[in-house]
C-alpha cells in the first residue's frame, strides 16, 4: 500500500511537470524497479491527476479493501469532509475564510441599502 502511495505521489509530481504518461512510467520503472505499478495503472493515475479528478469513495474502498460504508464514515465523520459539486471538501472554514464572508456580506448589505434595485 505504501509503495503504491509513493508511486501515486511520483505520478502526480510528473503530471505537474507536464511529463507524458510514457515518460512518467519509465521514471517509475527506474525508481521503483520490480515494485513498479503496471503501465495501465500508471496511465490511469496519470490521467486522473491530469484531469484533476478527485478520488471517489468507491475507488478508495477498492484500493484499501474496505467496505464503502466504512470509507464513507471515515471521510465524512473522521476527516470532516462532505461532497460539494462531486468533490470532497473540508466542512470547516478557516478564520480568514470566515472573515472574508463577513466582509462580503456586509458589502452586499451596504449595496442593497443604497440601491434597492441592486439585486
Whether the pLDDT of residue 1 is over 80: the answer is no
Q: Say what the alpha-carbon torsion angle 9, 11, 15, 17 is, to the nearest 10 degrees.
A: 80
Whether the pLDDT of residue 53 is over 60: the answer is no
What are the residues facing 88 on neighbouring strands?
83
Q: What is the average pLDDT across 58-69?
A: 84
User: What local confidence, expressed as pLDDT, does residue 28 receive?
Assistant: 93
Categorize the per-residue pLDDT at 10 as very low, low, confident or very high, splitting at 50, 70 and 90: very high
pTM over 0.75: no
Q: What is the average pLDDT across 8-14?
A: 90
Whether the pLDDT of residue 87 is over 70: the answer is no
Average pLDDT, the chain: 82
Q: Are 76 and 66 in contact (CB under 8 A)?
A: no
75 or 16: which carries more pLDDT confidence?
16
Number of helices followed by number of strands (H, E) in the chain: 6, 2
What lies within 8 Å, CB to CB, of 43 at 6+ separation is 21, 25
Using only C-alpha atoms, the chain has a radius of gyration, in whole angstroms, of 21
Whether the pLDDT of residue 100 is over 60: the answer is yes
Domain spans, the chain? 1-77
Amino acid at each position: 500500500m505504501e509503495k503504491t502511495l509513493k508511486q501515486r505521489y511520483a505520478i502526480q509530481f510528473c503530471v505537474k511537470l507536464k511529463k507524458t504518461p510514457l515518460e512518467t512510467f519509465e521514471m517509475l520503472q527506474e525508481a521503483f524497479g520490480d515494485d513498479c505499478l503496471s503501465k495501465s495503472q500508471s496511465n490511469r493515475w496519470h490521467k486522473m491527476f491530469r484531469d484533476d479528478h478527485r478520488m471517489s469513495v468507491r475507488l478508495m474502498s477498492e484500493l484499501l479493501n474496505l467496505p464503502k460504508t466504512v470509507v464513507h464514515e471515515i471521510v465524512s465523520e473522521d476527516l470532516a469532509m462532505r461532497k460539494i459539486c462531486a468533490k470532497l471538501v473540508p466542512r470547516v472554514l478557516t478564520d480568514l475564510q470566515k472573515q472574508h464572508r463577513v466582509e462580503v456580506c456586509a458589502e452586499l448589505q451596504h449595496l442593497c441599502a443604497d440601491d434597492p434595485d441592486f439585486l
